Amino acid sequence: MGLVIGIILTIFVVAALVYALAPWLVRPGWWLVLSPRYSFVVRGAENVPSEGPGLLVSNHVTWIDGFVLAAVTPRRVRYLVNADYINMPVIRSIAWRLGMLPLPATGPKAQRQAIQAARARLDRGEMLGIFAEGQLSRNGLTGSFRRGLEAVMGDREDLVVVPVFIDNLWGSVFSFQGGGFFSHRPRGIRHRVGIVFGPPLRPPLTAAAVRQAVIEAGVHAFDLRNRTDRDRPLETLDPALPGLTHEILGCLTGSSADYHRADVHQVGRKAGSVGHPLPGVAIRVVDEEGRQVGPDREGRLQVLKAGMSEWLDLAASGRVDKDGFVFLRVGEGTGPAA
């Protein structure tokens, strides 16, 4: 563990020096650092605006997500990062040079100040990156997005919001697979990672709407996996908990145990729900005219799964809440979670 932390700290220091002396080298520099281990396949990078205020919103599975995006995003991005991770001696100044902005996890006054600082950056025409879950996933699925995202976006008409999904990093030593970070050996020698930048969005937007766009980008990112990784099941799902199974498409949703420890709280199941969509699956609710409806509004369920070019009607009714949990109308059947 000490060796791993030492290596990470060294990389941080070198990256900060490069960023300070030659910021144009940051993107190729991170690509060079990460490429011996990871093979990146990128789609939709043209959706990132070349100038003007922008917000890059991503899922969050590993400690290195920000560096992965720095290696593939065609524009300099400042990332909002949990202040607990970077407000330490030495790390603080390095993180600042790397363009990271501390985002306090607690304290309404401090959070308001951080949001104001983020909006000030947008006023300057900069692009910010935010991991809207506010914490690393403990089950490999995308959790709920925090409302602070809405406060940063506001209703400004000049803002471009780009959803992005980083796929296939669950299982990395930097992920929580196996119940802890840095607690397991990495798979293979070189690992394929798909990054998809979805179509740009414009405020006003809800956190739930942005989350849905990120999930849909995740479906296309899953398409970039090799066959072995596509067939690997998510071990955190509990087969004893409800899930939604389709007779042709197979298992579409699943539930996991809740995770509550220290200041990390993640809900993996909800009473009456069939869980979250699995990796490579997006589920939405539409009205009788086929228009997508917002959270907690009941309608027809549709699914988009990796390998499909269009949404498929599931011939079932239900709703999706603001946290992304799927609920079937009473009387609809469910299958096992795996």
> Could you write out the three-class secondary structure of 203-267?
CCCCHHHHHHHHHHHHHHHHCCCCHHHHCCCCCCECCCCEECEECCCEECEECECCEEECCEEEC
Phi/psi class of residue 267: alpha, beta or left (left: φ > 0; alpha: ψ in -120 to 50)?
beta
pLDDT for 338 equals 39
Q: How far apart are CA 198 and CA 277, in angstroms?
A: 18
pLDDT for 92 equals 63
Q: How far apart are CA 153 and CA 273, in angstroms?
A: 30
Q: How is residue 319 written in tokens?
A: 């709703």
Q: How far apart are CA 316 and CA 325, in angstroms?
A: 15
**Ordered per-residue pLDDT tens for the chain, 338 residues:** 455 555 555 665 666 555 555 556 667 777 887 888 899 999 999 999 999 999 999 999 998 898 899 899 999 898 887 776 666 665 666 666 666 777 666 667 777 877 888 899 999 999 999 999 988 999 999 999 998 899 999 988 899 999 999 999 998 888 998 887 777 676 767 889 999 999 999 999 999 999 999 999 999 999 999 988 888 889 999 999 999 999 999 999 999 999 998 888 999 999 999 999 999 999 999 999 999 999 999 999 999 999 999 999 999 999 999 999 999 997 665 554 43
- pTM for the model stands at 0.88
List, for residues 98-154, the tens digit of each pLDDT value. 667 776 666 677 778 778 888 999 999 999 999 999 889 999 999 999 988 999 999
Give the three-state DSSP class for 154. coil
pLDDT for 178 equals 83
List, for residues 178-193, the tens digit of each pLDDT value. 887 777 676 767 889 9
8 Å CB contact between 296 and 157: no
Q: How far apart are CA 268 and CA 237, in angstroms?
A: 9
The answer for residues whose C-beta is within 8 angstroms of residue 304's C-beta and 6 or more apart is 216, 219, 281, 282, 283, 284, 310, 311, 312
Residue type, 169: L
Q: How far apart are CA 69 and CA 328, in angstroms?
A: 36
DSSP category for residue 88: S
Q: State the CB neighbour count (10 A cutoff) for residue 100.
A: 21
Q: How is residue 168 written in tokens?
A: 């296939």
Q: State the CB neighbour count (10 A cutoff) for residue 109.
A: 8
CA atoms within 13 A on the CB side of 106: 3
Residue type, 51: E
